[in-house]
């Protein structure tokens, strides 16, 4: 009997040993199986995650471009910078003084809305110097809702300067606004300019270590009165270098959308050259590259509505759904008494044109000459009183239904008198 029990116990031990050995061999086989996971069992981490927070990449409430292109030229409430919260987005930060703005921007995160209490700035240049080019969504700076233009920067010879990336300033009133070298993808929007105002985007080769301004913009900027103070332009988009072989400034991919700009006039006896918009490159720098003008009204100045000055055109410039007027054809009679009308050009280019340059004009009325020596044009559904440039005129590619020259003069298709819409209605 004892022998039988001993044999049974031995059998059980042998069976258990076999099971353990089989499990071990199976586990070893799994460890050598290329299809089996080789990841060790991870312990829960107590370290903070280093995974970057993903910011939204679209602008809440930003209207589609097609809707803005279907509206009449000028401000419509539909031209708004991409990657910017809608104007009526609730504030995430509030400040009492403009002197606190850079600190608030330094503490901000992508997509914040900074609300500035109503006030009038009386200091020197107000320079926005804090931003972050890693922000997927711009930070919006605006007055309280329902109080547009209650923040005023109106000081002689002083400017509101955007010199930081990914910041949009909207709803202010200003004498001069300027987007500088570091203002990549920054924008001004819904700004009403005061008397004798000036608008500028520029990049200099002799400032700091960032000489290229990229993808910035002006959206629904309104200058409702003609400029008569100094014999200077209404708006410049410009670059400056340090001379031949030196550092150059560049402006690339700038957008102008929904602008309403009255022109600038020189007084009798002055030799000033005044334009509503002048673009140029100086001291070895190229002019703006790949410039886009949409849904805008450029009224007449003494010389031209748009003068492409030194350097001419670089890259592809696009003009869509816009109106440009020269002073001899200004039905509204806006040349002030005592001031000159000296030009017949709505668009005028210099001779030194980049060999790969062209200007594409669509759905636009040019009330006066389009002068394009050496510059190729692409025209689609354009009304222009005259294409000028003589024997040096660049080639023209025609698309769609254009009305040009004598037909345009007879049809008066460019002879329109646009009306500035009620800004309270379209902006609030």
Q: For the chain, what are the domain ranges?
A: 226-416
- The dihedral through the CA atoms of 298, 301, 305, 307 has a sign that is negative
233-278: per-residue pLDDT in tens? 999 999 998 876 678 899 999 999 999 999 999 999 898 999 999 9
Return the ∠ at Cα 311 (arms to 308 and 316), rounded to 5°.
70
| Residue listed under structure tokens 């200091």 | 123
**Beta carbons of 281 and 238 less than 8 angstroms apart:** yes
- Whether 95 shows a pLDDT value over 90: the answer reads yes
Length of the chain: 428
| Per-residue pLDDT reduced to its tens digit, 289-342 | 999 999 999 999 999 999 998 988 999 999 999 999 988 776 556 788 899 988
**What is the C-alpha to C-alpha distance for residues 208 and 336, in angstroms, rounded to an integer?**
41
Confidence of residue 283 (pLDDT cuts 50, 70, 90): confident
Report pLDDT for 333. 61
b/e code 382-411 from CB counts within 10 Å (16+ = b): bbbbbbbbeeebbebeeeeebbbeeebbee
- Phi, psi for 16 (deg, rounded to 5): -65, -40
Asked if 326 contacts 302 with a C-beta cutoff of 8 angstroms, the reply is no
Structure tokens at 79: 């031209």
Query: Which pLDDT score, from 0 to 100, does residue 229 have?
Result: 86
Section 139-146 average pLDDT: 99
Helix/strand/coil for 399: strand
- Banded pLDDT at 25 (limits 50, 70, 90): very low
| Residue 317: strand, helix, or coil | strand
Using CA of residue 36, residue 39, residue 43, residue 48, what is the dihedral sign?
negative
Could you give the CA distance from residue 57 to residue 87 in angstroms, rounded to a whole number? 17
pTM value is: 0.83
Q: Which two tokens stand for residue 337?
A: 């008494």
Confidence of residue 413 (pLDDT cuts 50, 70, 90): confident
**Beta-bridge partners for 152:** 120, 173
DSSP assignment letter at 301? -
How far is 219 from 215, CA to CA, in rounded Å? Answer: 13
Sign, CA dihedral 400-404-406-408, equals positive
Over residues 147-157, the pLDDT tens digits come to 999 999 998 88
């Amino acid at each position: 009997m004892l022998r039988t029990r001993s044999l049974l116990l031995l059998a059980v031990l042998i069976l258990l040993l076999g099971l353990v050995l089989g499990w071990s061999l199976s586990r070893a086989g799994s460890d050598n199986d290329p299809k089996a996971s080789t990841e060790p069992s991870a312990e829960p981490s107590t370290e903070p995650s280093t995974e970057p927070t993903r910011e939204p990449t679209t602008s809440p409430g930003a209207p589609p471009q097609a809707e803005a292109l279907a509206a009449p030229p000028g401000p419509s409430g539909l031209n708004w910078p991409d990657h910017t919260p809608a104007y009526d987005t609730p504030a995430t930060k509030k400040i009492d003084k403009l002197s606190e703005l850079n600190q608030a921007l330094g503490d901000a995160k992508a997509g914040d809305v900074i609300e500035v209490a109503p006030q009038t700035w009386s200091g020197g240049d107000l320079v926005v110097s804090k931003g972050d080019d890693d922000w997927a969504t711009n930070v919006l700076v605006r007055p309280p809702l329902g109080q547009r233009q209650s923040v005023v920067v109106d000081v002689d010879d002083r400017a509101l300067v955007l010199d930081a990336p990914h910041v949009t300033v909207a709803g202010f009133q200003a004498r001069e606004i300027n987007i500088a070298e570091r203002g990549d993808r920054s924008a001004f929007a819904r700004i009403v300019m005061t008397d004798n105002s000036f608008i500028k985007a520029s990049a200099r080769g002799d400032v700091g270590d960032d000489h290229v301004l990229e993808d910035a913009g002006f959206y629904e900027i309104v200058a409702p009165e003609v400029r008569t103070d100094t014999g200077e332009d209404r708006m410049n988009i410009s670059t400056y270098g340090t001379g031949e072989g030196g550092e150059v400034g560049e402006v690339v991919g700038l957008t102008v959308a929904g602008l309403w700009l009255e022109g600038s006039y020189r007084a009798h006896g002055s030799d000033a050259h005044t334009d509503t918009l002048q673009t140029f490159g100086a001291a070895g720098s190229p002019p703006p590259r790949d410039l886009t003008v949409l849904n805008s009204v450029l009224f007449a100045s003494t010389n031209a509505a748009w003068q492409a000055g030194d350097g001419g055109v670089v890259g592809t410039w696009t003009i869509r759904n816009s109106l440009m007027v020269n002073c001899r054809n200004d039905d509204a009679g806006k040349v002030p008494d005592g001031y000159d009308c000296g030009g017949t050009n709505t668009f005028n280019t210099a001779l030194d044109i980049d060999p790969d340059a062209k200007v594409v004009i669509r759905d636009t009325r040019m009330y006066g000459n389009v002068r394009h020596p050496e510059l190729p044009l692409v025209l689609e559904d354009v009304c222009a009183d005259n294409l000028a440039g003589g024997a040096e005129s660049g080639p023209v590619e025609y698309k769609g239904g254009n009305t040009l020259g004598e037909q345009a003069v007879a049809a008066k298709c460019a002879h329109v008198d646009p009306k500035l819409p009620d800004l309270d209605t379209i902006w609030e």
